[in-house]
Amino acid sequence: MNINFAKSIKRLTIGALLTLPCCTFVACDDEIDQSNRFTFKGELIATHLENNPDKFSKFSEILRKAKIGKKTSGNMLRTLSTYGSYTCFAPTNEAVDAFLQEQYERYLNEERTGITSPYIEDLSDSMATVIAKNHIIETGYKTTDISDGSFPRSTMNRRSTTITWPVDESGHPYALINSHARIITQDLEMENGVIQVINSVLNPSNKPVPDLLASHKALSLFSEALVLTGYDEYLRTHVIDEEYDSKDYEPNPGIGKEGAAPYPEEKRQRFTLFIEPNEVLADPANNHLGLSITTIEDLVKFAEEWYGTNARGDYKNPENALNKYIAYHILDRQLQYSTSSGPGGFIMESYVSKDGFNSEINMPTYFDRYDYFETKLKYTMIKVTKPFTNPELQSHIVLNYAQNMGKLCKNPKMARHMNVIVEKASVTKERVGLEDFDQNCINGFLHTIDRILVYNEVEMAGNIINERMRWDISSIFPELTNNYIRWSQQDKSFTTYIPEGYCERFEILSNNTHVYYLHPHRTSLGGYPNYQGDELLVTGTYDFRYRIPYVPEGSYEIRFGFSQSDMRAVTQFYFDGKICGIPVDMRWTDNNTFVTMGWFKETDEVTGAPLSEEELRAKDKTMRNHGFMKAPASCHLEKGKSMRESQLAIRKIVGTFYLKPGEHWLRFKNVTENTDGKQQFNQDYLEIVPTTIISDPSKPEDIY
């Protein structure tokens, strides 16, 4: 939970993007509002730094040189003396001296560091700006609020900051920032935020994913394969649209009384790369061949066992086995190992929004947390799970988790290649040769894994995802994760406007279609019944479609989760261009809820006694016959009260479809008669369910 310093004051706004060689940071083109300056009884961050020159004079000088933006005379030290809430990682004088000397020596060795002198007075304003903004988060966080993982918000340079908790020689844990800088004095609470005193300057790598990977010799075999397959070039992508500028757009209509919503601040591509360290590949116990994989030839031999011999030797061919092996390790979104999830976490955990959403209340830990992400290997996905229900794995992020732990594999060879653990950076650093492991790239994250990861269609369809798959709607679009939109803690607005063309898998088909991301907010039985607290809201005489995630070939039931409201509309559903049944009235009325949809209370209308299991199943079946379902009981709107109990939360059964490999699209069109064009369409979650798990009447689907 972040520190709330709200004192009925205005926020200092940091906005536009500015790019320097090798560095990217956020800047502001507006003058500082001098009315924000004031005198506190306690110390401000800037005051504390200046009042302790023996510790922070050099960092204070960096902040003084650092500019807020192109068109303002303000500096970062002034920013930290204004209203607001900040986390300031403050390196000591000794840390600054060591950093400047080290960067200068690298410059003498012809590396492009941007620092041409070891003296603080020679530091350019542009480099001071980069350094300063690497050390400031625009929300105050205490270390007691953060477990292993990433801070919920990025720095002012739009970079993630990680924290781990190794133990010292005496067995006492200490906080390590970005796997490098130790917090030597933590949680100094100031009037406008928190200071974390560190013994090293934060200098996140400006290397793209493949270059940072190549710098770790203990990951050399995977790195070599990445280059051979050509994916190293793909993984250098960062800026998608050089011309993107949120200020170029006209004001949008906004929702309710908020007025125009802000646009996304950037449009960047980021990645996640899963990597087997050399020692994992070299251990013959880690593969069914009993092979010690120490050369590319060994790795090719192993890959061909799983992916065949097509295009043998042509490593850049997507049909080549080594190419497929590497492609399955690449996600087109940045995922951080976080147990205090903000933008970019693998799963939502230990998340508390400013508007009252609490993941540990709304998503109880007696249910596993999970998500599904597409990989670079065509038409495939990876399942990501935090298995709270498995004592052996409940503290881990697990790839392709099978609850039977592989004992019931249809292909016994796959037992060694499922339940793959994503290692925390602190665990990776315990491996020989990875003591200085750096995972934070300019355009993504590196994660080592403890087993060899492979894809097998039969095992994936028959074991790993032979289950009801559910996606929070914002998870489907990687742009929302890559650009710090999904699950972000917004200061000034409840919504972010998603412009046309921003998400590749989302297409707008009519002019009066407006798309908003609503950040996680308080849920309740009578109010917002949202799966992970957030939603996409579309307004207007809308007509739009999006591509659903890839799943193995087979027969599936597709469902759509939404909440009813007086502001909704009558909507026609389409799948792959074909109409799906009659239009659905998504507006809240008793007749619509109880008659058309068949929603029911779970107590006897006369006695108030709970319905029997048999009665509940019969009513659930009747509701299914109407084409609807209650919302899942695994998501709680209030403590002890699930979404299933909300009359507003509904699952619409779109239909049953045979999905072949390729793209499949859901379309939604406002067909309300005499519409005023102000209706809203709520998108909460999507379910794709193999028909094999709902076709056996002796084993009805659970309510979760």
pLDDT band at 73, cuts 50/70/90? low
Residue 257 pLDDT: 76
Nearest-angstrom CA–CA distance, 434 and 437: 5
Residue with tokens 């709270």: 388
Answer yes or no: is pLDDT of 13 > 50: no
Distance between alpha carbon 413 and the CA centroid of its chain, in Å?
32
Amino acid at 678: K
What count of Cα atoms within 13 Å lies in the side-chain half-sphere of residue 594?
Answer: 6
The predicted structure's pLDDT at residue 7: 29
Torsion angles phi and psi, residue 102, rounded to 5: -65, -40
The CATH superfamily of 469-693 is: Galactose-binding domain-like (2.60.120.260)
pLDDT at 687 over 80: yes
Residues in the chain: 704
370 φ, ψ (degrees, to nearest 5) = -155, 165
Q: State the Cα torsion 673-675-680-684 to the nearest 10°.
A: 20
Position 15 pLDDT exceeds 50? no
Query: Do residues 48 and 189 lie in contact, with contact meaning Cβ atoms separated by under 8 Å?
Result: no
Contact 397, 337 (CB under 8 A): yes
Position 142 pLDDT exceeds 60: yes
Confidence of residue 171 (pLDDT cuts 50, 70, 90): confident
Half-sphere exposure of 615 (CA within 13 A, CB side): 10
17-198 and 218-238+266-332+376-464 share one fold:
yes
CB burial of residue 211 (10 Å; 0-12, 13-18, 19+): middle
* Sheet containing 369-374: order of strands: 369-374, 381-386, 397-399, 420-422
Distance of CA 70 to the CA centre of its chain: 31
Give CA–CA dist 487/489, Å, rounded: 7
Q: What confidence score (pLDDT) does residue 482 get? A: 94
Tell me how many degrees the CA angle 399-403-409 measures, rounded to the nearest 5.
Answer: 85
The pLDDT score that the predictor gives to residue 202 is: 96
Q: Which CATH architecture has domain 17-198?
A: Roll (2.30)
Question: What average pLDDT score do residues 522-531 get?
Answer: 88
Element (H, E) at 49: helix 45-51
- Whether residue 491 is predicted with pLDDT greater than 80 in this model: the reply is no
Q: How big is the CA angle at 41 (ends 40 and 46), to the nearest 5 degrees? A: 50
User: Residue 105: which residues within 8 A CB-CB, separation 6 or more?
Assistant: none
- Tell me the per-residue pLDDT of 591-605, one tens digit each, with 9 for 90 and over: 999 999 999 999 988
pTM (2 d.p.) = 0.89
Q: Among 90-94, 363-367, 509-513, 651-655, where is mean pLDDT lowest?
A: 363-367
| Model pLDDT for residues 400-454, shown as the tens digit of each residue | 998 675 567 878 888 899 999 999 888 999 999 999 899 999 999 999 999 999 9
CA 349, CA 512: separation in Å to the nearest integer? Answer: 36
Give the whole-angstrom CA distance, residue 533 versus residue 662: 31
pLDDT in tens, 378-390: 999 999 999 998 8
Judge whether residue 360 has pLDDT over 80: yes
Confidence of residue 38 (pLDDT cuts 50, 70, 90): very low
Q: How far apart are CA 102 and CA 46, in angstroms?
A: 27
HSE on the CB side for 396, CA within 13 Å?
A: 17
* Per-residue model confidence (pLDDT) at position 23: 39
Confidence bin at 17 (pLDDT 50/70/90): very low
Contact 548, 519 (CB under 8 A): no
Which pLDDT score is estimated for 326?
98
Both tokens of residue 279? 């020692």
Confidence of residue 180 (pLDDT cuts 50, 70, 90): confident
Could you say which of 2.30.29, 1.10.3470, 2.40.128, 2.30.180 is the CATH number of the domain covering 218-238+266-332+376-464?
A: 2.30.180
The model's pLDDT over 203-219, given as tens digits with 9 standing for 90+, comes to 999 999 999 999 999 99
* Mean pLDDT, the chain, whole residue set: 89
| pLDDT tens digits, 539-570 | 999 999 999 999 999 999 999 999 999 999 99
Query: CB-based contacts of 5: which residues, under 8 Å, 6+ apart?
Result: 84, 85, 140, 191, 192, 193
pLDDT at 20 > cutoff 80 = no
Task: Give me the pLDDT at residue 3, please.
Answer: 40
- How many angstroms separate the CA atoms of 335 and 345, rounded? 5
The two three-digit tokens of residue 347, written as one number = 């799963």
Per-domain boundaries in the chain: 17-198, 218-238+266-332+376-464, 469-693
* 680 has a pLDDT exceeding 90: yes
pLDDT at 519: 92
